[in-house]
Structure 1
Amino acid sequence: MAAMFTGYYKFRERSYFLQQTADAIEEEVNAGTLGIGPYSEFGDVGEVEALKLFTQRVEGHRNEQRRRCSSWTSPPTRPPPPASRRRLDSASTRRTVLDDWEGDHNTEARRVLYVAGSRAQQLLVCAVHRKHVGRVGDLLAAKGVPYINS
């Protein structure tokens, strides 16, 4: 009974933190769209700087959420695993999530990417390392997804 309650509590806590982070990111989107709060000083000419600030603040929210949830997903004696872009399932291949996406492989990493992207209601901002921008652009274009490369 205690194990079941602990599992339920962990699930509820994780859901709470995920919702809290989603709400904070939505607040950032609204502030950026309306040009209020920390985005009020940029105006129309500072769109690139506003986008940089937006990305920095959203990543801060995501890192805070990871920090809060790490105590529920890993023992306190072991540090949380590094934020890797490698596959999240147990297969010992060297494929990345982009390889899985291109190869249409059904993996946990690809499912996580899908869930993250499908939650966006109006705008999805995706920070991609410059060496992968072309690959991501090709994948989006192949599916007819409009995107801006900045």
Structure 2
Amino acid sequence: MEENIITKPDSSRMQLELSLGDQLNALLSASHALNVRTAAVFDPTLQPAAFLIVRWLLSNGPAAATLLAESTAMDRSSVSRLVSRLKQLGYVKSETHPEDRRGVLLSLTELGREKALKAIKEKEEEFYKRISKWEDSDLETFIYMLRCFNGYGTK
């Protein structure tokens, strides 16, 4: 005779999952706060969302506004407004798309690139402070676990 067993979640597992949630929330909150501070280092007169565009262009190169909107999860009108401001300040420029003469590509100017790199360096220093005393093996384990968590599998 087969029993219909209803299992309760293991309370120790539930506690671990709650603790994981707490730590992920702390990481996301700290990362967001650091992103806002980094954006202010880049240019305190801009909204932090503008730095998200700058960061994307720095990492990925020239792009159409539509791709920027999709990639940053912002609506087109917000991207358009932020890009206009970035252009006014000399951080972003528009160029005709080389393959589609009707299209426009946005890219960082030299000033935009220099300021972005300076701001990012300060952000990286904050994260490096947190791991500076870790053993290499601890850092390797952390990287491995983050890769797994982020869906990238194993080394």
Report the TM range for the smaller structure's normalisation: 0.3 to 0.5
Larger Rg: 2
Using the size of structure 1 for normalisation, the TM-score is: 0.34
- The structure showing larger relative contact order (alpha-carbon pairs under 8 Å, at least 6 residues apart) is 2
- The answer to which structure has the higher strand fraction is 2
Using the size of structure 2 for normalisation, the TM-score is: 0.33
